[in-house]
Amino acid sequence: DMETMRPAAVCVLLLLSTVLGSFPQAQHVTWKSTNFKTVLSWEPKPSADYSYTVEFSVVGRDRQRNHHCVRSSATVCDLSSSLTDLNANYTADILSEPPLGVTSDLIEFPYTTSPRFCPYKDTDIGRPDFKLEVSEDKKKTTLYVTDPLTALFKDGRQLSIRDVFSEQLHYRVTYRRNKSTGKKSADFKTNIIEMSGLDRGESYCFNVQAFIPSRSFKKQLGELSHTQCSEVEDPSISDVYSVGVIAVAIFLILLLIAIIIAVTVICCRCRRNARTTGKEGLPLRDV
């Protein structure tokens, strides 16, 4: 009857709570992804009494396992090569299970589900490298940007972010005069960027970052590159000043020289006249 079944049910519940209590659920499950190097991480580090297994899937489809993340004591799982559909939305379950080689009577184990993750939309883009080149006449500054490589491979070749994003990939260049804080920025679709509107002979500093306008606002910009500044040799006078300014300067110098010469001649004549006048005013000596 009900009175005899109640103690048995309580015992079963106590037993289940004891078993489940030895398998704590994973917490703080997060995706960390840069250039499609995608790692799922969580807490806490398991004791010797239990382990973790990761099951992942495209939302609404059957779950799969990565053999590196089955009954493991690690709290990370690299799923870079497993998320093959870059435009799909994925979720993952982190199951708390007995350690490898240990059996259990439980059919279902405690688990924690991750947030959704889409590789194409959510992976962060790392900093690009670029080479800075200033033409000999100092009129043109060119940036040669190298696309960051990804963790993806196709036909044995490692893919770059350009291979993945194609025409969606732009680069944003932020620049300023050397030793100045005022910044400007411009967006470009190519890897060879010719900067225009820069003052000839001036040193400028540049930063480059990937820009994907089709993404959400928070994910549009990649990591900022290291700063590079153009080196400017001591410019010649013709590089710094226009022909008109140089002509005016020469005219002023010649005018100044002419004035100095004129003043010198006038002073010499005045002294000579003063000496002559002084001699004429002296009395004649007796013979």
pLDDT at 13: 36
- Exposure class string for 39-76: b at 16+ Cβ within 10 A, else e: ebbbeeebeeebbbbbbbeeeeeeeeebeebbebeebe
Of 196, 150, 148, 153, the closest CA to residue 173 belongs to 196
Give every CB contact of residue 182 below 8 A, 6+ residues apart in sequence.
Answer: 176
pLDDT at 50: 94
pLDDT at 151: 97
Each domain of the chain, given as residue ranges in start order, spans 22-122, 129-233
For the domain made up of 22-122, give the CATH fold.
Immunoglobulin-like (2.60.40)
The answer to whether 22-122 and 129-233 have equal CATH topology is yes
Please list the ranges in the chain whose pLDDT falls under 50: 2-7, 9-21, 287
For the domain made up of 129-233, give the CATH fold.
Immunoglobulin-like (2.60.40)
Is-contact 193 142, C-beta < 8 A? Answer: yes
Peptide bond into 44 cis (omega under 30): yes
Quick one: DSSP state of residue 234? Answer: -
